[in-house]
């Protein structure tokens, strides 16, 4: 027995938990503690190595703590981050698994091992063992769930519950009873709403009438009529987003089809999903009377009168139409999210409201604290839509969870097996697509193993890159006897309301942008949510009846570690892109711009410097011709600059292809577990001659185009067809913009001159130069940080002396992603104001 324990402990050291079911809890906790301490030490060493002598700010220190908590940072820039955000394909998600595996080690490895065992022919054995174990787990969790009493179980029987999550029900979040409200009519409306909402047979039109906003329709329209600017506040799900634009349409704000109603959303998915819903409610085809517009995708037509769009897109529309003359009403929705684009919009729409007395402006928000909006918009009146929320029981874990992915999966399964099916659906908040996919995979596997022993669990993921048909699935009720679990990003916090949710599982994390103006580095970071977010998330469970929220952290964490509110994005973003847009709008005095919360002066200065370096501004801070051209592209200024510069190097065709590939989002390559060797070989082929990652992307696209845009080719080459299709769309649009800025399509690679392409890229990214060090690391030339080639890069095998990178991602180390060889003399040639030769 001793020998067995030793063997298991060994396995644990290797982070292998498959053989570890029966380690005593005490031994396990002790080991876990040791491991955590070790990790912390590594992290700190890492940090000091990367930023020697740099004093951390309080925020950064907090950040460090969080990093440790989640085992590193997230590298892809996906759906959560709003549309106008410049995105990178997660080109090499396979290699990213290195980081991911570290992060999700426990859960993932367990999954993979079982899967592998199954493949190796040990199927029967592995499964039956697994089955037995699962069964035991279920029995155990039935007993254990909701109980605080863990001490009573004898050590000898204790299973290793890295798999069981224990909760304490702590507080109850009071419901908002309509009786509290003065307006009894509204109270009655809310009651009726819930009575009727239960009636599944209600038709779409009846359903509309059950929404809290419906009973206030006349009052609301009257208020809009009387006031030019109105702040609308209402609980999520009260019908603000879907109903108000329809009301406006019905009473004539779009009469004759001459003017439109715009409604902005911080996220692409929300704009698409809501537009689809409203088109359905109105019985029209999406893209006709009701449409949406998101970056690189315009689903509107001549007929469109209600237009849902990302806030970033409305910002861009200012460039073409500075008075937004084609809109009679602008609804800035989800104002409480305070995204960068929304914050800039505030200043701009406030200004044109003065100019255009005929235009109505609605600022709509889910938070009750609307005074700030009211103050900003010259004491605009606040219209409140009373909603009703049932009480929600709040549960916290007894102890911190080391692996929140694993804890989330287990909590969902625990809920599913212990709570009666049909009694309510589950909503799990995750941070992004990658995480959602991982959890989906693990859940599916676990359910397969459980087979018919538990009720059906319908898994519904939602994220931006999910095809629209699947996105719609989250709104469909689960079949009788089954339960639905929705895996969502914080899009489900306020933007989308899913009916029938009774349980919310909240790991307490979300993806946020973080920006350090000193280094000019921006990254997406997984960070704890704010207390306000946590409360919103919990509230999602109390819409149609009393709910329960399971927080995968302790009450102590909630009280002492979370911030009250999230910091507005404008205070933690790289501002180059918005500064360029503002300059293009003729707004020269940035310091005097009407910000609700001004960004740090340092960030503004950085942005100006960056634009100056790119030649978009002259030394007086005025827009140059290059800058004007750059502003036409809905891309990061560096990428826009590369495109504009391609004119000079005669390779605009190639550079827009690269830009499209970089912007298409999501992964380009994939790497199935059982075909890794093939996949890697296929990928290497695109890197022939150490071409560099930019040229490799170009090669992929061209080869695909040559195949006649064939899906078959994609499968054979281990390339994601969906990403490629999107890249093609993006490329078409960049081509049209090229024409608009009068750059002729031209190609250098036809003549084999790839250096021309590399030079054009360098013209945008010269600030991202790095030099090889003796130890194999690189030193970023400007920021002087030590950085590394990402293992997925094509140049990782033969690192060039000088390299240029597309972006840095911080995982376990600071990695350069998308790396291309650079000739140092190019720097002096291309950016003489920035570099000089050291003799």
Interface positions with ligand ADP (CB under 6 A): 211, 234, 236-243, 273-274, 276-277, 475, 497, 499
Task: State the Cα–Cα distance between residues 743 and 296, nearest whole angstrom.
Answer: 20
Which residue lies nearer to Mg ion by CB, 75 or 240? Answer: 240
Task: State the Cα–Cα distance between residues 797 and 268, nearest whole angstrom.
Answer: 38
| Residues contacting Mg ion: total by CB under 5 A | 2
Closest distance of CB 272 from ligand ADP, Å: 9
Q: What does 242 interact with, of Mg ion, ligand ADP, none (CB < 5 to 8 A by kind)?
A: ligand ADP
Which residue lies nearer to Mg ion by CB, 264 or 514? Answer: 264
The one segment of 20-28, 235-243, 448-456, 606-614 that binds Mg ion by CB under 5 A: 235-243
- Taking residue 8's Cβ as centre, other Cβ atoms within 10 Å add up to 21
Q: Are 386 and 630 in contact (CB under 8 A)?
A: no
Q: What does 272 interact with, of ligand ADP, Mg ion, none (CB < 5 to 8 A by kind)?
A: none
What tokens were used for 585?
């709008």
Closest distance of CB 239 from ligand ADP, Å: 4
Which residue lies nearer to ligand ADP by CB, 495 or 717? Answer: 495
Q: What does 611 interact with, of Mg ion, ligand ADP, none (CB < 5 to 8 A by kind)?
A: none
Which residue lies nearer to ligand ADP by CB, 232 or 691? Answer: 232
Which residue lies nearer to ligand ADP by CB, 272 or 695? Answer: 272
Closest distance of CB 312 from Mg ion, Å: 17
The one segment of 238-246, 508-516, 694-702, 728-736 that binds Mg ion by CB under 5 A: 238-246
Closest distance of CB 32 from Mg ion, Å: 41
Which residue lies nearer to ligand ADP by CB, 493 or 522? Answer: 493
Which residue lies nearer to ligand ADP by CB, 474 or 549? Answer: 474
The b-or-e profile of 705-732 (16+ CB within 10 A means b, else e) is eeeeeeeebbeebbbbbbbbebbbebbe
Task: State the Cα–Cα distance between residues 208 and 816, nearest whole angstrom.
Answer: 50
- Taking residue 683's Cβ as centre, other Cβ atoms within 10 Å add up to 24
Closest distance of CB 478 from ligand ADP, Å: 14
Q: Are 818 and 807 in contact (CB under 8 A)?
A: yes
Q: Counting contacts by CB under 5 A, is residue 367 touching Mg ion?
A: no
What tokens were used for 326?
């084609």
What tokens were used for 303?
């007929």
Number of H helices, E strands in the chain: 31, 22
Q: Give the torsion sign (CA, 21, 22, 27, 29).
A: positive
Which residue lies nearer to ligand ADP by CB, 299 or 660? Answer: 299
Q: What does 180 interact with, of ligand ADP, Mg ion, none (CB < 5 to 8 A by kind)?
A: none
Q: Minimal CA–CA distance to 500: which of 485, 516, 519, 490?
A: 485
Q: Any idea what DSSP says for residue 265?
A: E
Which residue lies nearer to ligand ADP by CB, 216 or 804? Answer: 216
Closest distance of CB 502 from ligand ADP, Å: 14
Closest distance of CB 505 from Mg ion, Å: 22
Task: State the Cα–Cα distance between residues 78 and 433, nearest whole angstrom.
Answer: 7
Q: Counting contacts by CB under 5 A, is residue 365 touching Mg ion?
A: no
Closest distance of CB 210 from ligand ADP, Å: 8
CB contact set of 768 (below 8 Å; sequence gap of 6+)? 638, 780, 804, 805, 806, 807, 816
| Number of alpha carbons in the 13 Å side-chain half-sphere of residue 666 | 18
Which residue lies nearer to Mg ion by CB, 241 or 646? Answer: 241
Closest distance of CB 461 from ligand ADP, Å: 15
Task: State the Cα–Cα distance between residues 406 and 387, nearest whole angstrom.
Answer: 35
Q: What does 234 interact with, of Mg ion, ligand ADP, none (CB < 5 to 8 A by kind)?
A: ligand ADP
Strand 802-810 relative to strand 814-821, pairing:
antiparallel
Q: What does 273 interact with, of Mg ion, ligand ADP, none (CB < 5 to 8 A by kind)?
A: ligand ADP
Which residue lies nearer to ligand ADP by CB, 279 or 443? Answer: 279
Q: Any idea what DSSP says for residue 797?
A: S
Task: State the Cα–Cα distance between residues 451 and 445, nearest whole angstrom.
Answer: 10
Closest distance of CB 236 from Mg ion, Å: 6
Which residue lies nearer to Mg ion by CB, 337 or 548? Answer: 337
Q: What does 266 interact with, of Mg ion, ligand ADP, none (CB < 5 to 8 A by kind)?
A: none
The two most distant CA atoms of the chain are separated, in Å, by 84
The one segment of 239-247, 251-259, 591-599, 743-751 that binds Mg ion by CB under 5 A: 239-247
Percent of the chain that is helix, strand, coil (3-state, to 5): 50, 15, 35
Closest distance of CB 217 from Mg ion, Å: 16
The one segment of 15-23, 233-241, 410-418, 737-745 that binds Mg ion by CB under 5 A: 233-241
187 — phi, psi (to 5°)?
A: -60, -45
Q: Counting contacts by CB under 5 A, is residue 241 touching Mg ion?
A: yes
Binding mask 370-409 for Mg ion (x = CB under 5 A): ----------------------------------------
Task: State the Cα–Cα distance between residues 30 and 9, nearest whole angstrom.
Answer: 11
Q: Are 378 and 231 in contact (CB under 8 A)?
A: no
Terminal CA-CA length for the chain? 70
Closest distance of CB 333 from ligand ADP, Å: 7
């Amino acid at each position: 027995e001793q020998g067995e324990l030793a063997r298991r402990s060994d396995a644990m050291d290797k982070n292998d938990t498959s053989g570890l079911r029966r380690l005593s809890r005490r031994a396990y906790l002790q080991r876990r503690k040791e491991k955590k301490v070790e990790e912390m030490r590594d992290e700190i060493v890492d940090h000091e190595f990367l930023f020697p002598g740099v004093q951390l700010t309080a925020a950064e220190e907090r950040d460090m703590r969080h990093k440790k908590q989640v085992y590193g940072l997230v590298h892809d820039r996906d759906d959560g981050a709003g549309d106008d955000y410049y995105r990178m394909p997660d080109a090499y998600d396979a290699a990213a698994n290195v980081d991911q595996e570290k992060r999700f080690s426990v859960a993932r490895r367990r999954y993979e091992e079982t899967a592998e065992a199954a493949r190796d022919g040990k199927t029967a054995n592995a499964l039956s063992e697994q089955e037995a174990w699962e069964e035991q787990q279920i029995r155990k969790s039935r007993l254990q769930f909701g109980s605080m009493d863990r001490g009573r179980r004898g050590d000898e029987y204790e299973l290793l519950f890295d798999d069981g999550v224990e909760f304490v029900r702590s507080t109850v979040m009071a419901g908002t009873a309509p009786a509290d409200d003065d307006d009894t009519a509204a109270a009655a409306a809310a009651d009726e709403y819930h009575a009727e909402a239960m009636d599944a047979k209600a038709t779409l039109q009846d359903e509309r009438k059950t929404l809290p906003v419906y009973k206030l329709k006349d009052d609301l329209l009257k208020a809009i009529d009387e006031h030019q600017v109105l702040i609308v506040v209402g609980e999520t799900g009260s019908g603000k987003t879907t109903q108000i634009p329809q009301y406006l349409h019905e009473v004539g704000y779009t009469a004759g089809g001459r003017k439109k109603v715009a409604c902005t959303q911080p996220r692409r998915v929300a704009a698409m999903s809501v537009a689809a819903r409203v088109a359905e409610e109105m019985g029209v085809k999406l893209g006709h009377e009701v449409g949406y517009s998101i970056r690189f995708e315009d689903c509107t037509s001549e007929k469109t009168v209600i237009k849902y769009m990302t806030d970033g897109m409305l910002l861009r529309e200012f460039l073409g139409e500075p008075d937004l003359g084609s809109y009679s009403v602008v609804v800035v929705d989800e104002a409480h999210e305070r995204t960068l684009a929304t914050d800039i919009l505030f200043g701009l729409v406030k200004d044109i409201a003065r100019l255009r007395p005929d235009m109505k402006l609605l600022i709509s928000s889910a938070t009750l604290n609307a005074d700030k909006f009211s103050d900003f918009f010259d004491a605009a009146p606040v219209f409140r839509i009373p909603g009703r929320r049932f009480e929600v029981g709040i549960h916290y874990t007894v102890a911190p969870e080391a692996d929140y992915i694993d804890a989330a999966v287990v909590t969902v399964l625990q809920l599913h097996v212990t709570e009666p099916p049909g009694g309510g659906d589950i909503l799990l908040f995750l941070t992004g697509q990658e995480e959602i996919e991982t959890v989906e995979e693990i859940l599916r596997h676990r359910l397969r193993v459980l087979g018919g022993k538990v009720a059906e669990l319908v898994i519904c993921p939602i994220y931006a890159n999910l095809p629209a048909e699947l996105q719609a699935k989250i709104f469909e009720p689960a079949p009788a006897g089954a339960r639905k679990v929705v895996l969502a990003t914080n899009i489900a916090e306020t933007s989308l309301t899913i009916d029938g949710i009774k349980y919310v599982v909240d790991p307490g994390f979300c993806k946020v942008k973080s920006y350090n103006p000193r280094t000019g580095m921006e990254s997406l970071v997984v960070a704890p949510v704010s207390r306000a977010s946590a409360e919103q998330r919990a509230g999602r469970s109390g819409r149609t009846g009393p709910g329960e929220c399971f927080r995968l952290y302790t009450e102590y964490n909630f009280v002492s570690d979370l911030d009250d509110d999230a910091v507005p994005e404008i205070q933690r973003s790289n501002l180059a892109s918005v500064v360029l847009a503002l300059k293009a709008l003729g707004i020269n005095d940035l310091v005097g711009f009407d910000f609700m919360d001004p960004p740090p002066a340092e960030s503004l200065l950085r942005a100006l410097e960056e634009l100056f370096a790119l030649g978009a501004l002259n030394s007086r801070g005025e827009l140059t011709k290059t800058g004007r051209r750059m502003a036409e592209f809905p891309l990061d200024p560096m990428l826009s600059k590369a495109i504009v510069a391609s004119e000079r190097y005669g390779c605009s065709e190639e550079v827009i292809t690269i830009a499209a590939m970089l912007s298409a989002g999501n992964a380009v390559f994939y790497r199935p577990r059982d075909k890794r060797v093939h996949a890697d070989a296929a990928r290497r082929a695109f890197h022939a001659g150490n071409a560099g990652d930019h040229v490799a992307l170009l090669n992929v696209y061209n080869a695909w185009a040559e195949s006649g845009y064939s899906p078959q080719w994609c499968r054979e080459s281990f390339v994601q067809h969906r990403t490629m299709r999107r890249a093609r769309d993006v490329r078409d649009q960049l081509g049209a913009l090229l024409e608009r800025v009068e750059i002729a399509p031209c190609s250098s690679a036809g003549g084999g001159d790839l250096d021309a392409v590399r030079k054009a890229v360098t013209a945008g990214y010269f600030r991202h130069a790095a030099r090889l060090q003796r130890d194999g690391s690189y030193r970023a030339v400007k920021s002087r940080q030590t950085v590394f080639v990402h293992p997925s890069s094509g140049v990782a095998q033969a690192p060039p002396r000088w390299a240029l990178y597309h972006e840095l991602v911080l995982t376990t180390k600071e990695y350069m992603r998308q790396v291309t060889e650079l000739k140092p003399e190019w720097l002096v040639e291309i950016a003489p104001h920035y570099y000089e030769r050291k003799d």
